[in-house]
């Protein structure tokens, strides 16, 4: 899967699209977290019983499970009374019950945490606009704090961010400890001998064993189809007949899935930085690796044009120097001013993160300049920005743990180690730099411990209102071709294109894009299909 983040290191806000360690590629828009804000705290909510709710025995189910609202079947969730309470400024927060398993709506329930910013002009309110930043694993509650919607939208919509099932403050997926996560992120992404391959397999087995042990039955029920079904419950709970939605990166997959399941319920929908849900997992992985290589080329051309680029004075030479640097770090990690070293795995994330936003290229130059001189501090800072690792060694977000859990239910794979090694040329021929790690991404979902319980919908979504699909020509995480394909697959898809660098288009400095999206969401008039900005 592909997708995720516009990096703003000054605020440690990243929009990235990879799964650490052994995982497959992914994406999300993340933002700074405040431990003082209960709505954005990374601790999982314990559903509090109301008059008609009983919390499950914590000895039977992990934290976050319960019996849910009274009543029978799905109606008890659609008809539930939700209590919104103040949670900072004018914002309101709530826990919303959804079924653990939509095939058994009378069974166990889980909670979603939602946060909304009420429309500034309540007298002219058009309804609610749900938002999702991507991932899988991105917090919609965090996204609410930095999405930067135009006032024409925030005046007339209640903007609702929610943490999807398994994510952050909703009933969460949990796999391994922070110490184990450190080792997982730093592990070798390019095993090239029998011993390294065995280590690679051992680390992944420990990870998946932890997911099974610590996440319980939730692990089977975090698919995108189930997230989309949850959004329809939210739509009803907030009182809307149609769902208006803005999804970025992997959030476009959620939106397309919702449209496929509930085409008659689609209101105004924008899918920015699209994932092609019908593409095969291997094709997605190859194309994403190629997208990162394309973004790297754009960065290197700019770096060289400014003179004194730390990797060399030609794109080919600089690309090869980076490949050699990764190989060197496989054997000899870079020291830092602290007690941690920069392994090849950490350097991989440190290099990729700034490619999500042209504004962050200077950080990559600084990190590479240090690296060729034997220091890893900036690359480590960049890698930690991706993983949201704090200075004390904690990971307040569970986004890394959610990514594979969702991806592998959406797109199970069955490749053996032998097949992965035999098919490596398919990656490295299209992505000489990042393909050497990306060739191993299929291993994650080929060894996932649980199977999906839901089937993918018909993504043509016949009968849906116009759905605006936005693509950026040099998007590293969700290559432009995916937006083109999704717009074609959706019966009512409208393609809007941005010629530029970086991941996703809205709020990236292109007034033409912003105006087209703002007009559509505020007034309901989509741009002409094929409009270019």
Integer Cα distance of 232 and 45 in angstroms: 21
Which of 310, 397, 404, 396 minimizes the C-alpha distance to 361? Answer: 310
Active-site hit among 31, 249, 446, 483: 249
B/e letters for 454-473, b = 16+ CB within 10 Å, e = fewer, are: bebbebbbeebbbbbbbbbb
Extract the tokens encoding 189.
């992404």
Q: At what angle do helices 344-352 and 361-372 cross, to 10 degrees?
A: 150
Extract the tokens encoding 202.
């051992």
Residue with tokens 């083109």, as numbered in its chain: 484
495, 466 Cβ separation under 8 angstroms: no
Extract the tokens encoding 411.
């797109």
Query: Is 397 known to be catalytic?
Result: no
Integer Cα distance of 113 and 161 in angstroms: 9
Query: Is 249 known to be catalytic?
Result: yes
Active-site hit among 475, 492, 497, 514: 475
Integer Cα distance of 411 and 452 in angstroms: 9
Extract the tokens encoding 530.
């094929």
Query: Is 67 known to be catalytic?
Result: no
Indicate the DSSP class of residue 11.
G
Integer Cα distance of 132 and 139 in angstroms: 7
Please write down the long-range contacts of 6-11, taking CB distance under 8 Å and 24 or more positions apart. Answer: 6/356, 6/357, 6/502, 6/503, 6/504, 6/507, 6/508, 7/353, 7/354, 7/356, 7/357, 7/359, 7/360, 7/363, 7/385, 8/357, 8/359, 8/360, 9/360, 9/363, 9/381, 9/382, 9/385, 11/146
Which of 103, 104, 5 minimizes the C-alpha distance to 356? Answer: 5
Name, in order, each residue with C-beta under 8 angstroms of 304's C-beta and a sequence gap of 6 or more: 312, 313, 314, 315, 318
Within a 10 A sphere around the Cβ of 286, how many other Cβ atoms? 23
Active-site hit among 95, 128, 360, 503: 503
Q: Strand pairing partners for 168?
A: none
In angstroms, how far apart are the furthest CA atoms of the chain? 70
Helices (H), 187-314: 194-215, 224-237, 250-261, 281-305
Catalytic residues: 249, 475, 503
């Amino acid at each position: 899967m592909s997708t995720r983040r516009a990096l703003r290191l000054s605020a440690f806000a990243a929009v990235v699209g990879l799964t650490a360690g052994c995982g497959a590629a992914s994406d999300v828009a993340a933002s700074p977290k405040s431990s003082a804000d209960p709505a954005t705290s990374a601790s999982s909510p314990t559903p509090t019983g109301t008059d008609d709710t009983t919390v499950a025995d914590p000895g039977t189910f992990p934290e976050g499970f319960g019996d849910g609202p009274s009543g029978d079947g799905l109606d008890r969730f659609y008809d539930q009374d939700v209590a919104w309470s103040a949670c900072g400024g004018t914002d309101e927060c709530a826990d919303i019950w959804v079924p653990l398993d939509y095939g058994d709506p009378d069974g166990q329930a889980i909670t979603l945490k939602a946060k909304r910013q009420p429309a500034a002009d309540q007298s002219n309110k058009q309804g609610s606009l749900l938002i999702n930043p991507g991932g899988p694993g991105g917090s919609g509650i965090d996204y609410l704090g930095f999405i930067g919607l135009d006032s024409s939208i925030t005046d007339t919509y209640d903007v609702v961010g929610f943490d999807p099932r398994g994510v952050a403050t909703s009933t969460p997926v949990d796999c391994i400890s922070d110490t184990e996560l450190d080792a997982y992120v730093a592990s070798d992404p390019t095993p090239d001998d029998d011993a390294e391959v065995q280590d690679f397999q051992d680390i992944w087995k420990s990870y998946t064993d932890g997911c099974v042990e610590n996440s319980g039955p939730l692990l089977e029920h975090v698919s995108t189809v189930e997230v989309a079904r949850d959004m329809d419950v939210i739509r009803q709970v907030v009182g809307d007949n149609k769902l208006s939605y803005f999804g970025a990166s992997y959030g476009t997959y959620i939106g397309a899935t919702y449209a496929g399941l509930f085409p008659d319920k689609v209101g105004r929908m924008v899918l920015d930085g699209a994932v092609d849900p019908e593409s095969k997992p291997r094709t997605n992985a190859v194309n994403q690796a190629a997208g990162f290589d394309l973004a790297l080329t754009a960065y290197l051309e700019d770096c060289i044009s400014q003179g004194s680029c730390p990797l060399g004075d030609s794109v080919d030479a600089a690309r090869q120097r980076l490949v050699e640097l990764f190989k060197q770090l496989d054997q000899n990690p870079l020291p830092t001013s602290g007690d941690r070293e920069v392994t090849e795995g950490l350097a991989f994330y440190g290099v990729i993160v700034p490619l999500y936003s042209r504004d962050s290229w200077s950080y990559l130059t600084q990190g590479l300049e240090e690296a060729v001189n034997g220091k890893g501090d900036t690359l480590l800072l960049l890698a930690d920005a991706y993983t949201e690792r704090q200075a004390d060694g904690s990971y307040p977000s569970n986004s890394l743990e959610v990514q594979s859990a969702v991806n592998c239910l959406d797109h199970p794979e069955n490749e053996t180690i032998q097949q992965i090694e035999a098919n490596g040329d398919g990656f490295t021929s299209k992505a000489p730099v990042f393909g050497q790690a990306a060739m191993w991404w299929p291993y994650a979902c080929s060894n996932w411990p649980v199977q999906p319980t839901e089937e993918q919908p018909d993504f043509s979504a016949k009968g849906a209102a116009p759905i605006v699909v936005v693509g950026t020509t040099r998007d590293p995480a969700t290559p432009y071709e995916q937006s083109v394909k999704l717009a074609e697959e959706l019966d009512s898809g409208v393609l809007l294109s941005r010629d530029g660098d970086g991941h996703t288009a809205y709020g990236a400095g292109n007034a033409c894009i912003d105006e087209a999206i703002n007009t559509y969401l505020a007034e309901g008039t989509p741009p002409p299909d094929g409009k270019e900005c």
